[in-house]
Amino acid sequence: MATKVKREIDVGEAVGILAAQSIGEPGTQMTMRTFHYAGVAEQVPTGLPRLIELVDAKKEPKKPLMDIYLSPEYAKDPKKARTIADDLECTILSQVAEISEDFVEKKIDIVLDEKNLEFEGLTVEDVKKTIKAAGGTVTSSGNRVAVKPNTTSLRLIRRLTNKLKGMHLKGVEKIKRAAIIEAKDGIFIRTYGSNIAEVMKDPRVDAKRVFTNDVKEVERVLGIEAARNTIIRETKQVLDLQGLNVDVRHIMLLADAMCMDGAVKSVGRHGLSGEKAGVLARAAFEETIKHLITAAVKADDDKLIGVTENIIVGQTVPVGTGTVRLKFKH
């Protein structure tokens, strides 16, 4: 009980500022360190760039990644895990075939690479079936397939070509690569590309332990609570990786603020700060004139609730010692 009371936050504590400073101060050191790594190729953004990505609530991270843990049966055996990984990796037509357009004959030539097909565990017949699904008249001889579109419009032919190039042959869509990582707590698969909805359907996967770094995807598939946890987990990970010790509760507050009204919002003009209650507070942040004019058109009131507004006006700030008010009763 004693610890519980001790750990409780006092009334009027400026938790937002504290969280911002607690994340921001070590963040400045992070900037100085990460930019020394510039030039290392093919890296998942870490450090400040990643932190910015999270806080900005980007639609898709620069490098979507998934960590997939497996059901007990597969979690011990790397070979079995490998089969899952191979099944997850997605293959598209352009990876196994040479696709060229013939605008004179108004057709599309596809030359399948049998070696690649074998490597991917596909047969020419499988691929032909998929190609047929795309539409057009399909004729084939051996590993050569010709598609005669139903149209003569060059633009539509090009559209069909692009569709064919991206035809999904096997595996889970969007998963570009899958690798097996043997960790202390069992084997897991790390994939480049993220698609939790599909991966979780696989019975060989431990559906409760499928992680992605794509916050928006989590929000879409699993809901806002899961998205909040993802933000916390990812942010914490970035900071831990840099050896920065930030109390989780600061990060939790940040995540709470971002997920407060049921959808993940970014921190900034288009999200949190842009939706502050006070006209003056918004005007003080960015796009001053826009906020003033819309406020004038709508005849908005500023109730002087927030910190910024009160500083502008020259009053005490409703935080800390400023939370105390005198009340008279007549």
Nearer to another protein, 118 or 300 (CB): 300
Locate the DSSP E strands across 104-260. 107-112, 137-141, 144-148, 168-170, 177-183, 186-192, 205-212
CA distance 89 to 210: 16
Nearer to another protein, 109 or 302 (CB): 302
Per-residue string for binding with another protein, 3-22, x by CB under 8 A?
Answer: ---------xxx--xx-xx-
Per-residue string for binding with another protein, 301-330, x by CB under 8 A?
Answer: x-----x---xxxxxxxxxxxxx-xxxx--
CA distance 81 to 248: 33
Identify residues 191-220 at the interface with another protein (CB under 8 A). Answer: none
> What DSSP string runs through 98-123?
EEEEETTTTEEEEEE-HHHHHHHT--
The DSSP bridge pattern shows strands 186-192 and 177-183 to be antiparallel
Closest contact distance (angstroms) between CB of 314 and another protein is 4
The pair of structure tokens assigned to 245 is 């010790």
CA distance 280 to 269: 14
**189 strand-pairing partners:** 68, 180
Q: How many residues bind another protein (CB under 8 A)?
A: 31
Closest contact distance (angstroms) between CB of 310 and another protein is 9
Candidate ranges 80-88, 183-191, 267-275, 287-295; the one touching another protein (CB under 8 A): 287-295
Nearer to another protein, 241 or 313 (CB): 313
To 10 degrees, what angle do helices 248-259 and 15-34 make?
110
Nearer to another protein, 21 or 123 (CB): 21
Closest contact distance (angstroms) between CB of 264 and another protein is 26
CA distance 76 to 70: 9
Closest contact distance (angstroms) between CB of 55 and another protein is 18
- If one asks whether residue 298 binds another protein (CB under 8 A), the answer comes out as no
Residue 95: what residue type? Q
Structure-token match 């070979």, residue found: 79
Candidate ranges 56-64, 114-122, 265-273, 293-301; the one touching another protein (CB under 8 A): 293-301
Q: Which residues bind another protein (CB under 8 A)?
A: 12-14, 17-18, 20-21, 289, 292-293, 295-296, 301, 307, 311-323, 325-328
